[in-house]
Structure 1
């Protein structure tokens, strides 16, 4: 079903025998039942392996730099035994409270018909608040901020991940130091170039590689823990409390590095629609969390035994003979982490375009079977340019660590606020429960956010700048579309009046004309221009609008709505979810069930193409930044993908009628 995306695999139910008595012996399966059961197991195993590869790439590469940065950039925190235990305790309880408690167990319940992510959560919260009012406007602003912060995170993650892996070569010898930046740049360049071919073939390697990666993480850490078992004291939260009590300032600074351990935690929720809750939760508790905790504690044990190891603590966990294989494995893991973030940026971009937050862009489907695999050329090359600029300017993962974290913590705080609205309005939680649960989680998020704000002068400004730019573009696009809609439809001729006036007196020609419009109550400019110049109407005229709902996918039974306006005029509404690609010809084919049959060879599509120009007299009265915003909207409108391409209308059946609008 279109409205039932990836669902969780459910084990076969056990129940009474046919005769009503309890079954005491296993009943032999028929060949068909056995095959179905085996197929179910294969499907579950496949989802689990895919979830390990895609969902946990980002958080899985955090051990490469988290412990190192906690002491190199934590405001004077030295790697003595008490500090190590305190930092490890902070890392462990951050994983438990933020990732496990907040995301895995709680926020993943807030699915928008199976989909997750900040935009899906905002749509869910907006549904609970209704479609108007100041709170709904606040939710829209939060979603815009969350989207901007996510794009900032998507810019930094590939750069810091690949750099940190390649820097492992410095553990063996400093000879590789001059080649770290060029090698990391070459890897990233290749990664973005292959996006044009799709991620299907590369994706098949994700799961096995990350399965090996988390296994190696756990084993490397376990070896060190066995040698220094006292490191397990850090499981006690009192060591985290002691670190805060002994040196509050240093502990607060250290949170800016500790948050690196939970970057990627939001991916658990964002990727829920692809895999379902069960694979993500099962992988977290059985493999990912144990592997991460063992590795972090193993690094802590190594530093407790040798404080000088802090500079290359992750790679020093491995014996000398395993260093280069570990660097290769780490590089593969970081490529996978980067790929997961890039794919997520593509997915969120599509959602934003569908919801009207960004201009229409070209989107290519790279898989014939997986609907979620898309490629957005414009975003791909923009990300590549930004990532290469970061690598060449910052030149090390340590420098980039200062820029990392602010976007993630801001996004986490926004998720907590939106989830609180969902719990109150849709889950019907009491006000006390909502404030107690999400107030506590928000307090943790704000502590992390506050610590990362201190990093703004040393690099934290970067994701903030990206978020501000993205927010400004979204705000410009939304405001501009409102003004443009008023210009197009504010004084337009009512459709009912037009039908009464012209249908009887005009000449009708054979065939069907489909006019794409954003308002079914008024006459489209394309029709007025066509009638004015040609003085004829088609025998059958269809006014069609495409509506994007605040759900991921719309059921096929709810896709089409047809209304007969009389005298050969029809009104058609085609509904799509924000995860779907609008396809107008396919939607028209579904009108059959409503008694409206189309022959594409006898159907012409009339699409308006507006050219916007600045109304100088009006522009002079606007503040400077509003004038600048007006010019930006016109540029965005000009660069927007044509409706013909975006709605997948056959180009040889389209007539575009242009008009100039003073904006």
Structure 2
């Protein structure tokens, strides 16, 4: 997710600098923003989490101990997973201020040496995140719109069409950007949390004995005495913490302190009061188990609560969609996915991005899920597996970070991580019971994405290695060409290549077919740093090879979109002869064909070729001036 969703915006839409406002006002603004973006998914969980957790235990009737046990499980899941693991621990495990599973992956993968296991964990976690990004909008919007049925049964037939219309509109608007609406996300979601807390507090007053659920003995007693039912309930209880990964992912956008303040001051009190209130309602009226969230409020307030819930779920879905865009950009920069087209929807905020391919795939997946499952209760069966799997991956990567990066002794790091592994493994195992009822959806999607990212990573490495072996070394080419008779043409030629030590194929093709070379040649290699952002002072490194040749390395962080043209313009301060209107950019365009005798198996070759066709035009991805780009094609076997 990005700062585009909510930052301290001026009335004109611009973003003030840190010096424009006192520190406490900036912290307050970021805290309200964190409520809207970071906690949007967690904030919509009360719509369905308590209901789905209580139903397995209610099949043979409900007792007070069972209600208190389920409420206690929900509260302690929030305390142990969200508060302790994410808010207090993982927010400190940052990669130069950035969080999220790929930021952690980049950190531990680069220190002290690369690991195949870490690589598999990283792509598995990223793949499962995308599974969550498809299910969250579907279940959130459906659960909110279903509140219309309680206003009047007349609305029941239109719940599905209204949900689909809202979801389609949400994805269609992505291409225009959401910056103008982002300033309202925090206040609306804050109002949502206040409304949830007040509704719960009113009901608690009618059954104050529900407050005893804060004692973990009720949760432990429920788990001990209910056997398989307790295991099933655990899978539903996990729905209450499904938005916790957003905490970590948005660390760089809001900062540790605002996220922590938002949790302890607004979010946890509201969630706790609401879950306690739902428990109190069921204690006094067991029939309310059908929809305890909306039945918390009186009939006169129900339309307003349904409307507010719909807004909250749309905001939560927007945050997940934007998070998927951000995650995709990170995966592209880390070499896990092809260079998909990235469009910027703001002239001032680099975080406001739109990826047409990802947006279309997310919309298609969401609509398929909504039409297949049709109700939030049915979708709850598919929800949880992806998130619990992602949490386990994050925890395992955090162990490596503690041991390898922070230098903790292995036993100490294991002692800190083990309790979380045990709890999350139990949640994951409980969610596996959902596989026959729809849990296979995120697992299947995750498996497909793992294969795709693994294939792309392996395929690009093999292609690079083979091209490097067959290439003409640049240090041998330059002396020969300087002594040769090739004609010189005025101007500057920039050749982009992934191998800085090899002569770019486009340069060789230009020499072979046109018989000329430019007066000044710049060999440019774009590198992705294992840090989120690279300061301008470290952006470029220039090496003077001869009077005619220069080699430039451009470094971009894995959360940045590379703008080669702008970076080269900045290189003029370091003495690079670069005049935009007199410069031509040469790119090598490769047509890939499958060869079963080399590289990967044939089925992987076909996947790799298909993914390469989905890649964006390099001119667009690297922000090159289209009118000065020359592409030289070649056929390459993979």
After the TM superposition, which residues 70-219 of structure 1 pair with which residues of structure 2 at under 5 Å, given as runs? Answer: 70-73=53-56, 76=59, 78-130=61-113, 132=114, 136-219=115-198
1:661 and 2:625 aligned? no
1:413 and 2:392 aligned? yes
After the TM superposition, which residues 204-243 of structure 1 pair with which residues of structure 2 at under 5 Å, given as runs? Answer: 204-243=183-222
After superposition, the Cα gap between the structure-2 partners of 1:526 and 1:77, relative to the gap in structure 1 and judged at 3 Å, is farther
2:537 to 557, 560, 567: 557
Contact 2:36 2:185 in 1 (8 A): yes
Contact 2:594 2:602 in 1 (8 A): no
Contact 2:57 2:66 in 1 (8 A): no
After superposition, the Cα gap between the structure-2 partners of 1:40 and 1:385, relative to the gap in structure 1 and judged at 3 Å, is same
After superposition, the Cα gap between the structure-2 partners of 1:260 and 1:616, relative to the gap in structure 1 and judged at 3 Å, is closer
TM-score (norm 1): 0.92
Note the residue ranges of structure 1 that are not aligned, 5 or more in a row: 10-34
Note the residue ranges of structure 2 that are not aligned, 5 or more in a row: 9-17
After superposition, the Cα gap between the structure-2 partners of 1:618 and 1:282, relative to the gap in structure 1 and judged at 3 Å, is closer
Structure 1 counterpart of 2:572: 592
Structure 2 counterpart of 1:22: none
Equivalent-residue separation in structure 2 for 1:75 and 1:64 (angstroms): 18
Equivalent-residue separation in structure 2 for 1:599 and 1:536 (angstroms): 20
Offset from partner CA, 1:477-499 (integer Å, 9 cap, x none): 11211222133222111111111
Contact 1:71 1:78 in 2 (8 A): no
Equivalent-residue separation in structure 2 for 1:77 and 1:195 (angstroms): 47
1:638 and 2:617 aligned? no
Equivalent-residue separation in structure 2 for 1:152 and 1:77 (angstroms): 34
Structure 2 counterpart of 1:17: none
1:583 to 552, 556, 563: 563
After superposition, the Cα gap between the structure-2 partners of 1:128 and 1:496, relative to the gap in structure 1 and judged at 3 Å, is closer
Equivalent-residue separation in structure 2 for 1:77 and 1:232 (angstroms): 24
* Stretch moving more, 162-171 or 95-104: 162-171
* Stretch moving more, 41-50 or 173-182: 41-50
Contact 1:75 1:250 in 2 (8 A): no
Equivalent-residue separation in structure 2 for 1:73 and 1:195 (angstroms): 39
- TM-superposed CA distance for 1:251, in Å, is 1.1
Contact 1:73 1:257 in 2 (8 A): no
After the TM superposition, which residues 28-107 of structure 1 pair with which residues of structure 2 at under 5 Å, given as runs? Answer: 38-73=21-56, 76=59, 78-107=61-90
Q: State the superposition RMSD in angstroms.
A: 1.9
- TM-superposed CA distance for 1:77, in Å, is 7.0
- TM-superposed CA distance for 1:587, in Å, is 1.2
1:542 to 506, 517, 522: 522
Equivalent-residue separation in structure 2 for 1:161 and 1:176 (angstroms): 18
Structure 2 counterpart of 1:331: 310
1:304 to 283, 293, 301: 283
After superposition, the Cα gap between the structure-2 partners of 1:417 and 1:466, relative to the gap in structure 1 and judged at 3 Å, is same
Contact 2:56 2:229 in 1 (8 A): no
Structure 1 counterpart of 2:420: 441
After superposition, the Cα gap between the structure-2 partners of 1:316 and 1:334, relative to the gap in structure 1 and judged at 3 Å, is same
Contact 1:75 1:254 in 2 (8 A): no
* Stretch moving more, 430-439 or 482-491: 482-491
- TM-superposed CA distance for 1:73, in Å, is 4.2
1:385 and 2:358 aligned? no
Contact 1:128 1:421 in 2 (8 A): no
- TM-superposed CA distance for 1:74, in Å, is 5.6
TM-score (norm 2): 0.95
- TM-superposed CA distance for 1:126, in Å, is 1.6
Equivalent-residue separation in structure 2 for 1:540 and 1:70 (angstroms): 69
Q: Secondary structure of 2:576's match?
A: coil
After superposition, the Cα gap between the structure-2 partners of 1:573 and 1:603, relative to the gap in structure 1 and judged at 3 Å, is same
Structure 1 counterpart of 2:15: none
1:518 and 2:498 aligned? yes
Equivalent-residue separation in structure 2 for 1:371 and 1:535 (angstroms): 41
Offset from partner CA, 1:176-235 (integer Å, 9 cap, x none): 211111110011111111111101122121111111100011100001111101001110
* Stretch moving more, 426-435 or 384-393: 426-435
1:423 and 2:402 aligned? yes
- TM-superposed CA distance for 1:431, in Å, is 2.1
Q: Secondary structure of 1:527's match?
A: helix
